Structure 1
Amino acid sequence: MIEKGFSKPTDRILRLKKQIIDARPHVESERAVLATQAYKETEGLPPILRRAKVVEKIFNELPVTIRDDELVVGAITKNPRSTEICPEFSFDWVEKEFETMATRVADPFEIPKQTADELREAFKYWPGRTTSDLASSYMSQKAKDCIANGVFTVGNYFYGGVGHVCVDYGKILNIGFSGVIAEAVRHLEALDQMDPSYIKKQQFYNAVIISYKAAIDFAHRYAAKAQELASRESNPTRRAELEQIAKNCRLVPEYPASNFWEACQTMWFIQCMLQIESSGHSISPGRFDQYMYPFLKADTSISREFAQELIDCIWIKLNDVNKTRDEVSAQAFAGYAVFQNLCVGGQTPEGRDATNDVSYMCMEATVHCRLPAPSFSIRVWQGTPDEFLYRAAEVIRLGLGVPAVYNDEVIIPALQNRGVSLADARDYGIVGCVEPQAIHKTEGWHDAAFFNVAKVLEITLNDGKVGSTQLGPVTGDPKRWTSIEDFYDAFNKQMAFFVKYLAEADNCVDIAHGERAPLPFLSPMVEDCMGRGKSLQEGGALYNFTGPQAFGVADTGDSVYAMKKFVFDEKKISMAELKEALDANFGLAIGQKANAVGAGELTEGQIYEAVRKVLSSNKSMDVTALKEEVYRTLSTDTITAPAGSSKYDGIRRLLDSAESFGNDIDDVDLIARKCAQIYCLEVEKYKNPRGGQFQAGIYPVSANVLFGKDVGALPDGRPAKAPLADGVSPRQGKDHLGPTAAANSVAKLDHFIASNGTLYNQKFLPSALAGDNGLRNFASLVRSYFDQKGMHVQFNVVDRDTLLAAQKDPEAYRDLVVRVAGYSAQFVVLAKEVQDDIISRTEQHF
């Protein structure tokens, strides 16, 4: 038998989990108020020293909170799973949402009146002083127009901190914060005053010293709080725990960790403080098993059970971190996503298998907690033990959407191709959704922008126009194209144009962060900021990248194939007829809303999707039959099929075609590969202000749903405003020849060139992975896909009926966790349109 089963979580972990599940996320004001006071008090100081004084004030005065039952302490907010505001990055969107954030569609947060009043007062200081203000002042109007018209968005770092980093936890575990201070002092003493960079370096090292002394004080404040709670605690067991917590916090992270409990506390303090310093998300714990295992191995006094409970406590704490975004971005990151990616397995820097006891304990913690965080990942290579992969498969089939699986055989050479050394590439971790990084040596600016490839396709089909606005270059009337090469010529020109403005917009935001938001606490934990004497945001890292990600690749590939086949090769329809059909949205504009019996109000997008399903599931259907089937599908008699639908029978043949990406058909798959390459090759032409290169990724978070609303009808039969395909996955419902065929199609994309990461979702029925045979089949699928050089794959193991039941009765399914994109989330907190997108994915079986 392969199956081993999992142990049960302790009662403590179940109680801590309940705090997370039951929490109502709040916006809190303390950090914003303290940061504003610090900025007012430091007018005239250099930016890096100013930031150090902000960190100092926050670490010294932010409320100290220890929650019931905790063994590992340190909190960003007073309330569980809540968030602070960082106005130095942006603030006006918060003020606009004071009255609506609690009721918005995606990721609502409560904002009590007193909190709103305190924030409103703090915000009076910030107009013209934020990183977003500075970035906007640098950005051209054309770049802003591209953003406004849905071609791309740089909102992630425009509104908040960068994050997307994995720092050197092992360094702090081994030398402590006091060791970092000593390192800064040594560098200060070694400075040459004749060096032109002396002043800037001196400021940086002094900022580090200020920040790390404050960080030590932050831990000591927790020691005092734990001691205070212990003095009032009547339960002797809990009193002893609090006394030990107080002792731990007096020692670490000021000094090196001497046992496993101290190592866990150190790791969490680092994670907590990084979140407090800035509003960046995707601050990822990286290769947790590699830097934590030596402390477990050396700790002869700890039981395996207690060590497991400590890891479980860290898993709970990772779910306590939360972040609010503006209403539009919240839809793109639906599910309170914070993307703290924790990775186990893979290789050592020397090329040996890295799996150890902590690797397996991380899987156990994931099963015990069954919560969205961390974004748990495993690395697989030719030397990965079968036992490790089978164990991961056991976790996956529980339906939590984790672990995601990454292929060393693609990622390591892809990083080397970007200039990363072999040892550093072997030591990669995953940050954020799916982004590979040479850990604690990289400022990757992963997730730097969402780029809508399908929107560029639509613009190409309209000669550079969006509506009546000439947004892109004039590349010719599509009706005059005589071959698919004419399309590619126009598409390449449009892509070059829009990627240029993408790079400009990203670089404007990048410069603004370097000038106004250097991070003196984070920087010493990334090589070689201390050696170079500059912050991470100013180019201190060994490796510097900018990684904007694309989505809509499958939609574009399917659309180009459809044009090639039906317009140019078989000449079944003309380009003029296709254009007319696209402009008319295939004749499916049947009203903004309809009342469906038992279903309430339907959105326009839902109606479009229902009609698309009717068309794609029936090989021949006249207008009357179409109308009748739509009635039955929507259970309503209020819909009238539009006059003239019969004009678009040729387009319906496109919809009916089985030849789509995801079915292992070279003619289709290689077109999708080419479309993706056009984007990736254009992106890598650009450099960033930190001296590094742009590198492309292909992953959407959940932006394929949000930004699908900006895209009109496409030649693959997708109606206007419908969701786009997610990541490198086939379009929802189009991969109908099974999981192997779908994986074969995805593997044909050039994952090496998309070195900022690719994201592939598969959805399985639970029965497909049942028993030993299900595990073996699953492991074989992963191995086969990776042998063909796929980069990443992740799985939902859940049936449609369960998801539909959760929509109807969310309270009964509050602990149902699903994979959204590069992250998992509680299904019931997702916006309905994101839920619908997950439901619509193909249910695979062997």
Structure 2
Amino acid sequence: MAKYFTEEIPKTDRIPGLVKHLYAKMPEIESARARLITESYKATEDKPVIMRRALAFAHILDHIPIIIRDGELVVGSTTIAPRGCQTYPEFSYKWLEAEFDTVETRKADPFYIAEQTKRELLEADAYWEGKTTSELATSLMTEETKKAIEHNIFTPGNYFYNGVGHVTVQYDKVLAVGYRGIIDEIQAELDRCNPGDGDYCTKSQFLKAAILSCEAVIRYAGRYAELAEQEASACSEAGRRQELLQIAANCRQVPAYGASSFHEACQSFWFVQQLLQLESSGHSISPGRFDQYMYPYYKNDLDSGKLTRESAQELIDCIWVKLNDLNKCRDAASAEGFAGYSLFQNLIVGGQDKDGCDVTNDLSFMCITASKHVFLPQPSLSIRVWNKSPHALLLKAADLTRTGIGLPAYYNDEVIIPSLLSRGLTLEDAREYNIIGCVEPQKAGKTEGWHDAAFYNMCRPLELVFSNGWDKGEKISIETGSVEDMTTFEEFYDAYKKQMNYNISLLVNADNAIDVAHAVRCPLPFLSCMVEDCIRRGKSVQEGGAVYNFTGPQGFGIANMADSLYAIKKLVFDEKKVTLAEYKRALAMNYGQGFDAVSAGEIVTEIVREMARSGMDVDEGQIAEMIETVMKTEPSPEEKKKYEELLAMIEAVPKFGNDDEEVDLFARDVAYTYTRPLLNYRNPRGGQFQAGLYPVSANVPLGAQTGATPDGRLAHTPVADGVSPSAGRDVNGPTAAANSVARLDHGIASNGTLFNQKFHPTALSGEKGLENFVALIRSYFDQKGSHMQFNVVDRETLLDAQAHPEKYAHLVVRVAGYSALFTTLSKSLQDDIIRRTEQGL
């Protein structure tokens, strides 16, 4: 076991200045990358796509403007503007052009965009008509799939409009041998190829593209070395001049060659992290087990006297600042679902090695300290927990949690390792897992996991049970029978499962279409050269080059569906207090709140369906008129009273989240309606689909597209997040809620589960508060829970921050699988965080 120190190292004066500079103004969209990739593509139309990608990457790195920000010790910026972003027209672009005039003023994640930038992007984008991954993916989907997306049953928008990301590469390999060493490995594989081999044409092109990409990165680092030398020669302050000369020396050494010092290792790591984003547009490019692959360089320098713990901490702090400099602009709807400018760069500490020994070290503690020093959302810090995790590490993590930053998230080795084993990983690889993005486990450097591949709203198929497969005047799913004719709960539940299964198959079709589109149009040679076994196979990760290949779409709304189906079972079939017909009417009327466009659409759906069966045609104009008429309908006082009585009955039915074993096991079975069917499908890369149970923060905007549900939830309000109980329904305390969530089968959801809890700050005060908090985590994990994350903030503070954002510029909260500045979130997302049950220990 490595030696570690638990004492916290003070923050240097450099860090606040770097942070202040980073957040001095609104993030800005820049056009350099779009212009450069378009120039390259126009000049390479006669070449294979993998070569076009490499040549374009090289053209970008050779010509994109570069900058060294004041005071930074680790360099490399994707944009000149702090927290700026480039655009990626090869994936999609029309949504941004449509939002040019609103992107600066929208509620979630606004970006400044100059008029000149708009003109430059319009000129570059014109080339990409008909050439994007999103357009190809659309053409590959079935009409039924496109209709399901249009009606918000699920959304695959993450990779539909952007790069994939969601990967951890072989940082350790780059640190050890540099890109010169990787080029030598690629060249050796190329030398072994025979022109007569069946795959020679494709394999040789991939290997040559990978070499071109690595060489471009080396030149890019050289540009920074030259810039640092130029700035040093003009710098009059001796201390800063020496720092710039050291930066120049670092950039001459790495990432071309292996790192020979901790500072070089930090610089090499950062170039990898930054340039993966610049190549691919994908978020959730996660540093993984930073405390493990960086430790040898730290220890060697510390032992030799070249480095102090204080200077090492400052370097780590600088990397933490840089991780917040990367940014990404999403369309307005996606920005609502990912609000907070997050890139989900998950960095994890602690856990085991391949032999099952604990590997906590000094850097494990220093990473936690860095998050406390910098106090920004990135990296999305996580900690692995098992029965040999040092208590001191958990206390250190808990001390960070009680600051209210929402970090770290906690992960259970005892569930995740067996879960990965069940998906075909070796024991050694499973023991060395890290977390991607929000909550998704994978083996670094061997996996193309396609995590976060789609959001599947488990509430919408229940709506389709009540409407018999119709929505807003048209048939969009299978018909499972009229609910008025159903006589047993089993019949009703079976209809829900059929709706689930049918729409899961469409989700798979959407994901696979997008998967193919990325392989055909946007393979990534730079990323792929750092993922085993792409070099030997001669394939990019998009084409199946990785050792492990998965697709991981996530379902959400489990608590709503468990509570809804349980309420129907009890009130309709067991106690016979209400009929399904009455329940259906109550949902359509939003429990007496009156018809809105969606619920009115459900009523009109019934009318249109009957007209269609009678051979009558109804056009869109007639449907719109009928919906408008229905919306004017008000429930009578008698109806309103019935709805109030029904809501009271629903409220009295036991709810998931209160340590009621009958309800909790029922929820477990409901979760299986999503997790089990997915296991039957495979992706184009030869890998298996695997379920995740988490929503990022899409439970808010997608809840806004969902009608009332039988658990008493009103139409268009947020649905439950992750595997957490519905907000306000877990009334028996945090332990009871944890006991309930632990009864779900977390192992089958091998793409990750997400459990949110919120505590009043007094709950974690003092030494006793920390000890009780750690005990709660241990207890939950002992019961086979997989993940926990926390907000530690009182309701009054959040309400005041909502009303007076100028007073809370640095208030960081846990949103979903990530943290964000509270004041950057949309009001709907802020409201959802405020609504979460506030617990005490």
Shift of residue 6, structure 1, vs aligned partner: 4.2
Corresponding residue number in structure 1 for 2:338? 333
1:676 to 2:681 alignment:
no
1:489 to 491, 494, 499: 494
Q: CA deviation at 1:488?
A: 1.7
- 1:714 corresponds to 2:709: yes
Residues 330-369 of structure 1: pairs in structure 2 closer than 5 A: 330-369=335-374
- Percent identity, aligned pairs only, is 56
Q: Which residue of 1 aligns with 2:770?
A: 775
Q: CA–CA distance in 1 between the matches of 2:374 and 2:654?
A: 42
Confirm or deny: 8 A CA contact 1:590 1:642 kept in the other structure. Answer: no
Aligned to 2:684: 689
2:828 corresponds in structure 1 to: 833
Q: 1:757 deviation in Å?
A: 0.4
Report the counterpart of residue 507 of structure 1 in structure 2. 512
Provide closer, same or farther for how the CA distance between residues 313 and 480 of structure 1 changes in structure 2, counting only shifts above 3 A. same
1:463 lines up with 2:468 in the alignment: yes
Q: Which residue of 2 aligns with 1:115?
A: 117
Deviations 1:410-464 (A, max 9, x none): 0000000000000000000000110001111000000000000011111122211
Find the aligned partners of 1:641 and 1:73 in 2 and give their Cα distance: 67
The 5 Å alignment of 1:446-457 reads: 446-457=451-462
Structure 1 equivalent of residue 614 of structure 2? none
Equivalent of 2:531 in 526, 532, 536:
526
CA distance in 2, matches of 1:666, 1:589: 36
Q: C-alpha deviations, 1:649-704, integer Å up to 9, x for none? A: 44222342261111011221122111111111111111000000000000001100
Distance 2:197 2:108 in 1: 52
Shift of 1:277: 0.5
Superposition deviation, residue 4 in structure 1: 7.7
State the AA in 1 paired with 2:427. L
- Provide Cα deviations, 1:175-202, integer angstroms capped at 9, x if missing partner: 0010111111101110122210011110
Shift of 1:7: 4.1
- In 2, Cα distance between equivalents of 1:644 and 1:53: 68
- Tell me which residue corresponds to 1:758: 753
The aligned runs of 1:68-107 (5 Å cut-off) are 68-107=70-109
Aligned partner of residue 56 in structure 1, secondary structure: helix
Matched, 1:561 2:599: no
Distance 1:356 1:838, change over 3 A: same
Contact 1:6 1:367 (8 Å CA) reproduced: no
1:661 aligns with 2:656: yes
1:186 maps to amino acid:
A
| d(CA) in 1 for partners of 2:649, 2:325 | 48
SS state at 1:38 partner: helix
- Match of 2:128, SS? coil
Cα deviation for residue 580 of structure 1 reads 1.1
Cα offsets for 1:499-555 (capped at 9, x unmatched)? 111000000000000011010110011111011111111000000000000111100
Q: Are the aligned partners of 1:284 and 1:430 in contact in 2 as well (CA < 8 Å)?
A: yes
Report how far residue 648 of structure 1 moved.
Answer: 1.7
Alignment-derived partner of residue 376 in structure 1: 381
SS of aligned partner of 2:529: helix
Query: Does residue 307 of structure 1 match 2:301?
Result: no
**In the alignment, is the contact (CA less than 8 A) between 2:382 and 2:408 conserved in 1?**
yes
- Cα-Cα RMSD: 1.5
For 1:746 and 1:591, locate their aligned partners in 2 and report how far apart those are by CA, in whole Å.
34
Letter in 1 for 2:418: P
1:243 aligned residue: 245
Q: CA deviation at 1:246?
A: 0.5
Cα offsets for 1:538-589 (capped at 9, x unmatched):
0000000000001111000000010011110011111111111111110013
Contact 1:375 1:402 (8 Å CA) reproduced: yes
Deviations 1:107-166 (A, max 9, x none): 110110000010010011011001111111111111010001010011110100000000
Counterpart of 1:611 in structure 2 is none
Counterpart CA distance in 2 for 1:17 and 1:56 is 31
CA distance in 2, matches of 1:321, 1:483: 54
Aligned to 1:403: 408
Opposite residue 565 of structure 1, the aligned amino acid is: K
Question: How many pairs are equivalent?
Answer: 799
For the 8 Å contact 1:687–1:694, the answer to whether it is kept is yes
Query: For residues 472 and 714 of structure 2, what CA distance do their matches in structure 1 show?
Result: 17
How much has 1:640 moved relative to structure 2? 11
Residue 183 (structure 2) aligns with = 181
Partner secondary structure for residue 805 of structure 1? helix
Which residue of structure 1 aligns with residue 780 of structure 2? 785
Query: Which whole-Å CA distance do the structure 2 matches of 1:654 and 1:728 have between them?
Result: 24
In structure 1, the residue corresponding to 2:788 is in which secondary structure? Answer: strand
Mapping 1:638-653, distance limit 5 Å = 644-653=639-648
- Superposition deviation, residue 496 in structure 1: 1.1
Match among 791, 796, 819 for residue 791 of structure 2: 796
Question: Match of 2:144?
Answer: 142
What CA distance in whole angstroms lies between the structure 2 residues aligned with 1:552 and 1:194?
A: 54
1:418 corresponds to which residue? 423
> Partner residue of 1:620?
none
Distance 1:8 1:218, change over 3 A: same
| SS of aligned partner of 1:703 | coil
1:642 Cα deviation from its structure 2 partner: 6.4
Corresponding residue number in structure 2 for 1:17: 19
Question: Which secondary structure state, in structure 1, belongs to the residue aligned with residue 526 of structure 2?
Answer: coil
Indicate which of 218, 225, 228 corresponds to 1:226: 228
Name the residue aligned to 1:616.
Answer: none
Instruction: Please say if residues 590 and 641 of structure 1, whose CA atoms lie closer than 8 Å, have aligned partners that are also in contact.
Output: no
Cα shift at 1:591: 8.6
Give 3-state SS (helix, strand or coil) of 2:435's partner. strand
- Per the alignment, residue 734 of structure 1 pairs with 729
**Contact 2:6/2:392, CA 8 A, preserved across alignment:** no
Distance 1:493 1:658, change over 3 A: closer
Inter-partner Cα distance in structure 1 for 2:179 and 2:593: 63
Residue in 1 that maps onto 2:53: 51
Distance (Å, rounded) in 1 between the aligned partners of 2:472 and 2:448:
38
Asked whether 1:702 is paired with 2:697, we answer yes
Asked if residue 743 in structure 1 is aligned to residue 752 in structure 2, the reply is no
Aligned match for 2:556, one of 551, 554, 565: 551
User: What CA deviation, in whole Å up to 9, does each residue of 1:76-120 have, x standing for no partner?
Assistant: 010001100010000100100110100112111011000001001
Q: Which residue does 2:611 correspond to in 1?
A: none
- Following the alignment from structure 2 to structure 1, what is the Cα–Cα distance between the partners of residues 646 and 420? 42
4+ runs of 1 displaced by more than 6 Å?
639-643
Q: 1:427 aligns with which of 420, 432, 444?
A: 432
Structure 1 distance, partners of 2:396, 2:635, is 53
SS class of match (1:343)? strand
On the 8 A contact 1:697/1:754 being kept in 2, the answer is yes
Q: 1:158 to 1:231 in 2, by over 3 A?
A: same
Q: 1: distance between equivalents of 2:106 and 2:646?
A: 37
| Paired residue secondary structure (1:522) | helix
Corresponding residue SS for 2:702: helix
Q: Could you tell me which of 561, 571, 579 is aligned with 1:574? A: 579
Matches within 5 A, 1:272-283: 272-283=274-285
Q: Post-superposition shift, 1:710?
A: 1.5
Amino acid in structure 2 at the alignment position of 1:786: F
Deviation at 1:498, TM superposition (A): 0.2
Match of 1:386 in 2: 391
Show structure 1 runs of 5+ residues with no match.
593-603, 605-638
SS at match of 2:778: helix
Query: Aligned partners of 1:487, 1:19: CA distance in 2, in Å?
Result: 58
Equivalent position to 1:443, from 441, 448, 461: 448
Per the alignment, residue 629 of structure 1 pairs with none
Q: So what's the TM-score if we normalise by structure 1? A: 0.93
Structure 2 residue matching 1:359: 3-state secondary structure: helix
Deviation of the 1:17 alpha carbon: 1.0
The 10-residue stretch of structure 1 (372-381 or 13-22) with the greater mean CA deviation from structure 2: 13-22
